[in-house]
Amino acid sequence: MTQTKIGIDAGGTLIKTAYIENERIQYRSFPSQAIDDAIKWLHDYFEKPAICVTGGRSQVLAKKLNVPAKTVVEFDATTEGITYLAGPQTLGRQFLFVNVGTGTSIHHVTDGRQERIGGSGIGGGTLLGLAYLTTGMQDYEEIVRAASDGNREHVDLKVKDIFEGLLPPISGDLTASNFGKAEWMREHKPSDSDMLAAIIGLIGEVIVTISTQAAAQYDTGAIVYIGSSFRSNPLLQDILVAYTRLVGKEPVFLPNGEYSGAIGALLAID
């Protein structure tokens, strides 16, 4: 019987697994606080598998396993996973990848070798924290679902709001100030959905600004966006696509991109 191979990316928000079953890669994830549930599933579902772990909580998870686990550097594993998922899609000999998880990490890849060039504390953890502070919501799926019904123009100050009656020098639909419509909000309290949409807008615009500036600095055309923050979150993805193309760079979203680290760990198993 062939030994099952499992790659695990244990991050701050999710524990993501990639494993081969019926000659295909399968995926499953668990909330990071449910690490014991993930361990139970691994012990119950697999018999003496070969496991490779990566991610910030990889050592915590590895100590709970009943089998030894190989360890691989998270950033290198993610690069390998992206290359695998991209397949024949041409990213060029160099590209950026932006991993939007709990926070955001930006990497420059040349000929398969990555270098971390920056990042931000803005990410999925920001969404969960600000959503709780503003609306009391705690469930990720509920948050992104509610945000899809929101109107950011009830919260954000647009360029066209400042140049009222005049032709602005840049697109009037650009954000002049996130959460900047204070006067309007004092008279018309925005809905929870409006605030959540504005939070996602803020996160997306910060990420795309630093990402496209890095792409310009390193003269790369493609920016690969991956991470658990895009799960069931088309609003965030749409913001990144629109603003990335606005500055002449090409946004790339890979199917199952959030599992890049887990796939890279899987591929590292001999």
Residue listed under structure tokens 């999710």 = 14
Q: How far apart are CA 240 and CA 205, in angstroms?
A: 7
Ordered alpha helix ranges (H), 95-135? 124-135
What pLDDT does 87 receive?
85
Of 74, 153, 205, 258, catalytic: 74
Percent of the chain with pLDDT over 90: 81
Per-residue pLDDT reduced to its tens digit, 38-92: 999 999 999 889 999 999 999 999 999 988 999 999 999 999 999 999 987 778 8
Residue 192 lies in a domain: yes
> Beta strands 94-100 and 222-226: pairing type?
parallel
Residues 129, 216: one domain? Answer: yes
Token pair belonging to 93? 């000999």
Residue 105 lies in a domain: no
What pLDDT does 95 receive?
95
pLDDT of 167 strictly over 80: no
Residue 52, strand partner residues: 7, 70
What pLDDT does 92 receive?
84
What pLDDT does 164 receive?
76
The arithmetic mean of pLDDT across residues 149-155, rounded, is 95
Residues 158, 41: one domain? Answer: no
Residues 71, 183: one domain? Answer: no
Residue 69, strand partner residues: 51
Could you tell me the residue range of the domain that residue 62 belongs to?
A: 5-75+260-267
Report the domain count for the chain. Answer: 2
What pLDDT does 220 receive?
95
> For residue 68, what is the DSSP state?
-
pLDDT of 168 strictly over 90: no
Residues 140, 238: one domain? Answer: yes
Residues 133, 225: one domain? Answer: yes
Per-residue pLDDT reduced to its tens digit, 183-239: 889 999 999 999 999 999 999 999 999 999 999 999 999 999 999 899 889 999 999
The least confident of 84-88, 135-139, 187-191, 255-259 is 84-88
Residues 70, 159: one domain? Answer: no
What pLDDT does 2 receive?
64
Residue 104 lies in a domain: no
The least confident of 42-46, 131-135, 161-165 is 161-165
Going by C-beta distance under 8 Å and a sequence separation of 6 or more, which residues neighbour residue 43? 66
The least confident of 106-110, 117-121, 171-175, 213-217 is 171-175
Q: Is 153 a catalytic residue?
A: no
pTM for this structure? 0.91
pLDDT of 135 strictly over 50: yes
> Taking all residues of the chain, what is their mean pLDDT, rounded to a whole number?
93
* pLDDT level of residue 1 (50, 70, 90 thresholds): very low
- 237 exposure class (CB count in 10 Å sphere: 0-12, 13-18, 19+): middle
Instruction: Specify whether the CB–CB gap between 56 and 11 falls below 8 A.
Output: yes
Residues 162, 237: one domain? Answer: yes
pLDDT of 240 strictly over 80: yes
Residues 240, 172: one domain? Answer: yes
Instruction: Specify whether the CB–CB gap between 239 and 200 falls below 8 A.
Output: yes
Residues 146, 225: one domain? Answer: yes
Residues 134, 47: one domain? Answer: no
Residues 246, 139: one domain? Answer: yes
Residue 83 lies in a domain: no
Residues 248, 128: one domain? Answer: yes
The arithmetic mean of pLDDT across residues 255-265, rounded, is 96
Residue 107 lies in a domain: no
Residue 106 lies in a domain: no
Assign 27 to helix, strand or coil: strand
Residue 117 lies in a domain: no
Residue 225 lies in a domain: yes
- Single-letter residue type at 68: P
- CATH code (residue 9): 3.30.420.40
pLDDT of 172 strictly over 90: no
